[in-house]
Amino acid sequence: MTDGRAVEDLVVGVLGGTGPQGRGLAVRLAAAGQRVLLGSRDAERAEEVATEVAARAAAVAGAGEVSVRGGSNVDVAGAADLVVIAVPYAGHADTLAELATPLAGKVVVDCVVPMGWDELGAYVLDVVEGSVCQQAAVLLPDSHVVGAFHHLSAVTLEDLSQPTLEGDVMVVGDVREATDLVQALAGRLPGMRGVYAGRLRNARQVEALTINLVSVNRRYKAHAGVRITDV
């Protein structure tokens, strides 16, 4: 899975890394010293965004050596040690269907929320496999799929005027070594903790809870997250 390497020694790929969520995770991880590869459907766009993200990460107080590079989603999937999926739900299945081979044997972290909007606000879309994470597991049978980072607002991640984040990252998955690794990765974000929250079959609730947070954010003009008490 990682050949015994510690999380800080891994290269983290972010597919859909040109969007707010991918950029936000990338800039925070890069500022913490993680080597990051940003993926896009367009390698040139990925390189442009990677350059911007690297400059922003390097400007964070206390940031050491920063490494952010861009590439096509498929190249990043092949080159990274651990890969975060940050594409919209509408493109999730098609994106992953092409990547089973480059992602084989790797930990794949899925933060995709199946969210729809109508006149009543945000709502959860039904996913045939049970959840987006379970869809990923079906499409990537040789990867270790872990759900995490659903409850982190991209606005907060990208707002580097807030040096410390506040909240917990609920981590779901079926392989202990993989969930431990992703908990450790979450802990690289300043102020955050990764908290194990069940098997992959419990990803549905974690994904859906994001919709409640979106509703909180709309009512209270906030960027709410979650905090797990007593652990």
Asked whether position 113 contacts ligand NAP by CB under 6 A, the answer is: yes
Candidates 16-24, 53-61, 134-142, 180-188; binding stretch for ligand NAP (CB under 6 A) = 16-24
Q: How far is CA 115 from CA 44, 81, 92, 127, 215, in A?
A: 29, 29, 12, 10, 12
Q: Which residue among 14, 26, 40, 77 contacts ligand NAP (CB under 6 A)?
A: 40
Of 36-44, 117-125, 134-142, 198-206, the window that binds ligand NAP (rule: CB under 6 A) is: 36-44
Backbone angles phi, psi at 12, to 5 degrees: -100, 125
The residue count for binding ligand NAP (CB under 6 A) is 26
Distance between CA 81 and CA 5 in Å, rounded?
10
* In the block, residue with structure tokens 């950029």: 23
Q: Mask of contacts with ligand NAP, 184-213, x by CB under 6 A?
A: --------------------------x---
Pick 1 or 115: Cβ nearer ligand NAP: 115
Nearest to 14 by CA among 113, 86, 101: 86
Report CA dihedral (189, 63, 107, 139) to the nearest 10 degrees. Answer: 90
| Residues at the interface with ligand NAP (CB under 6 A) | 16, 18-22, 40-42, 45, 86-91, 95, 111-113, 115, 150, 152-154, 210
